[in-house]
Structure 1
Amino acid sequence: MSVSYRQPGVVLTDRRFTVPLDHARPTGETIELFAREVVAGDKAHQDLPWLVYLQGGPGFGANRFVGKGGAWLGRALKEFRVLLLDQRGTGHSTPANRQTLPLRGGPAEQADHLAHFRADSIVRDCELIRREVTGGAPWTVLGQSFGGFCTVTYLSTAPEALTAAVVTGGLPSLDAHADDVYRAAYPRIERKVAAHYARYPQDVERARRIADHLLAHDVVLPNGYRLTAEAFQSLGILLGG
């Protein structure tokens, strides 16, 4: 059942789709996907081409814009009906998280389950959704970060389904392993951290104090996530943004 409502300048429709957990077993277990349709208020009844947005991550639901939201959405709404998809396992779609994974069994069973949440499955989800919302007509895909990886997978497996593909990040290398890309980023992050400490020297002792506390105590955030010293260190990537 779809529910439509208005925000300033737009009409939103929350939609849900049922897809196979394993596309190789279409009659087996199913999961639910959530997507928010966004269209400009003055174009709500027009027959517009579709643009599906694939969020970065992996592991994040699509942006929850208010009204026309960020600059890219406002631009897209000039000519498209936009579908903000919560990729499988994220957002309001059937979750795959620390609460649900133990129900699948031990580490091996959990890893097997997570193999169904890669870019190839996300693309096959999009293809089922596309046939339902466009009647089989091709659409445009916009991929951000991990969504860019999904977009390249889309181009590799179902190019006939796409009118255009836009990648704003996450263009995979042709010959480098992911570890090579991360190793190339480490010195850059180190330089950014050094620049931060040079500008804010008081943060040096503060960061050490926080890390020491996390090493000696279990700190659980309001969302249930355990904040470790390693997780605290990962905040350094924001300094490179």
Structure 2
Amino acid sequence: MSIDRLPGVVLTDHFLEVPLDHAVPDGERLTVYAREAVAPGREHDEKLPWLVYLQGGPGCASPRPLGRDSWLVRALDDYRVLLLDQRGTGRSAPAGRQTLALRGGPAEQAAYLAHFRADAIVRDAELFRRELLGPGERWSVLGQSFGGFCATTYLSYAPESLREVMITGGLPGLTASADDVYRAAYPRVARKNAAHYERYPQDVERVRRIAAHLREHTVRLPGGGRLTAEAFQALGLMLGTGTGSYVLHYLIEGAWVTGPAGPELADSFLQAAQGHLSYTATPLYAVLHEAIYGQRSVSPKGTEWAAERVRAEFPEFDVDAALDGDRPLYFTGEMVFPWLFDTDPSLRPLKETAQLLAERTDWPDLYDAGRLAANEVPAAAAVYADDMYVDAGHSLETARRIRGLRAWVTNEWEHDGLRVSEGAVLDRLIRMVRGEA
């Protein structure tokens, strides 16, 4: 067992063998990793309650602490924290083009990845709970974004294992299909675009100029990917964070340099754009992004590239229509499109696998409305009123359907409020589940 001491926190590694398919406990197994974080001097405090953290994503590893930082500033006052690397991420059987090639062809890879959704993540967490706390002990859950989806699944699957549940920016629509999700998302993204251009009106022409150049020229990113006009639009993903509009503006203002042949997109711009657009570090984010909404009782036809299909209903996101007229070109948000598997070299080998997952029609349901309606676990959720990634309307409808859940609706923070609030968001949720706020 590896132990690491950083300023203000003691970290301990934990590994656990779990079934690939929890319905077949004697079948193939995976190694899942989690990092325990505790305040110095409290390592041996057996009365210190556990809090398991479920990260956003899908396909993103749990945070790597640099000390007692971010929301751990508050969490370590009251908890021993378990930072779970969800299966397929970090040190938990990482899944990407290199490792998935060992599974066989696209059909085998898709069948494997079908076991990497919230239902399996929750069952992995349950095995960790039994291993670390004992079968009859309860722990608390903190879920951020997709981690909140997982926390809602946890309340559906194993509420008897939970002391309390806290969710930030991640109450899912219980019966929202992928089409419903994106039909609600595009107007939210449009509002974020309008706000950006109101703040930076000079960016209207700058963005149109870049998009027109990308329409007329083949532009390669430093890693070999192609920067198309649609890929450039995907930089709008950052508009959902508290400082994202500023970062996007600074990126755009430094886009051009003058070379021997005249104006061209700067290497520094292309390098920075690649950092925001590449899925090399998080391939499952792209491969499984729409699959997290699949439920056979809700969308029996599967997800079928919902973001791409629904986009046609919102012409303000059409590049050619914008360039043919004089209106601003809108960036897209948290949407994954099939062409990504052509433009991003790290995703290209997974194109057929992603297509098979988009066509899959037998996704198990993730939420139990009856159990949630009878919930007895203290629960609280921060619902960000201006959240670009998770629809506040869907979240509030779900809040009404989970018995006893208290919703805190705020526009003080964006979707990244948990990370950037230095513990303030978590403190409010802790006080809410305890009835102190």
Normalised to the residue count of structure 2, the TM-score between the two structures is 0.51
Distance 1:105 1:30 in 2: 17
Residues 197 and 204 of structure 2 are in contact (CA less than 8 Å); yes or no, is this contact kept in structure 1? yes
Say whether 1:113 aligns with 2:112: yes
**1:118–1:162 CA distance, 2 compared to 1 (3 A):** same
How far has the Cα of 1:211 moved from its partner? 4.0
Corresponding letter in the other structure for 1:148:
G
Q: What is the aligned partner in structure 2 of residue 14 from structure 1?
A: 13
Residues 88 and 122 of structure 1 are in contact (CA less than 8 Å); yes or no, is this contact kept in structure 2? yes
Q: What is the aligned partner in structure 1 of residue 91 from structure 2?
A: 92
How far has the Cα of 1:17 moved from its partner? 1.6
Corresponding letter in the other structure for 2:173:
S
Residues 145 and 170 of structure 1 are in contact (CA less than 8 Å); yes or no, is this contact kept in structure 2? yes
Q: What is the aligned partner in structure 1 of residue 28 from structure 2?
A: 29
Q: What is the aligned partner in structure 1 of residue 177 from structure 2?
A: 177
* Identical columns (%): 66
Q: What is the aligned partner in structure 2 of residue 186 from structure 1?
A: 186
Distance 1:194 1:109 in 2: 43
Distance 1:8 1:231 in 2: 40
Distance 2:195 2:127 in 1: 48
Structure number having the greater strand percentage: 1
* Structure 2 residue matching 1:100: 3-state secondary structure: helix
Greater mean alpha carbon deviation, residues 78-87 or residues 22-31: 22-31
* Structure 2 residue matching 1:171: 3-state secondary structure: coil
Q: Which has the larger radius of gyration?
A: 2
How far has the Cα of 1:135 moved from its partner? 2.0
Residues 33 and 88 of structure 1 are in contact (CA less than 8 Å); yes or no, is this contact kept in structure 2? yes
Q: What is the aligned partner in structure 2 of residue 78 from structure 1?
A: 77
* Structure 1 residue matching 2:67: 3-state secondary structure: coil
Distance 1:66 1:165 in 2: 25
* Structure 1 residue matching 2:114: 3-state secondary structure: helix
* Structure 1 residue matching 2:176: 3-state secondary structure: coil
Corresponding letter in the other structure for 1:51:
L
How far has the Cα of 1:221 moved from its partner? 5.3
Distance 2:214 2:91 in 1: 31
Distance 2:129 2:35 in 1: 14
Residues 119 and 153 of structure 2 are in contact (CA less than 8 Å); yes or no, is this contact kept in structure 1? yes
Greater mean alpha carbon deviation, residues 178-187 or residues 39-48: 178-187
Q: What is the aligned partner in structure 2 of residue 196 from structure 1?
A: 196
Corresponding letter in the other structure for 2:124:
D
Q: What is the aligned partner in structure 1 of residue 155 from structure 2?
A: 155
Corresponding letter in the other structure for 2:218:
H
Of the two structures, which has the highest relative contact order with CA contacts closer than 8 Å and spacing of 6 or more? 2
Say whether 1:126 aligns with 2:125: yes
**1:11–1:144 CA distance, 2 compared to 1 (3 A):** same
Normalised to the residue count of structure 1, the TM-score between the two structures is 0.88
Distance 1:101 1:119 in 2: 20
How far has the Cα of 1:161 moved from its partner? 0.9
Q: What is the aligned partner in structure 2 of residue 145 from structure 1?
A: 145
Say whether 1:63 aligns with 2:67: no
Residues 20 and 30 of structure 2 are in contact (CA less than 8 Å); yes or no, is this contact kept in structure 1? yes
Say whether 1:235 aligns with 2:245: no
Distance 2:240 2:225 in 1: 24
Which stretches in structure 1 are left out of the alignment for 5+ residues?
A: none
**1:134–1:107 CA distance, 2 compared to 1 (3 A):** same
Corresponding letter in the other structure for 2:138:
P
Greater mean alpha carbon deviation, residues 87-96 or residues 206-215: 206-215
How far has the Cα of 1:109 moved from its partner? 2.6
Residues 143 and 166 of structure 1 are in contact (CA less than 8 Å); yes or no, is this contact kept in structure 2? yes
**1:31–1:230 CA distance, 2 compared to 1 (3 A):** farther
Q: What is the aligned partner in structure 2 of residue 102 from structure 1?
A: 101
Distance 2:110 2:29 in 1: 18
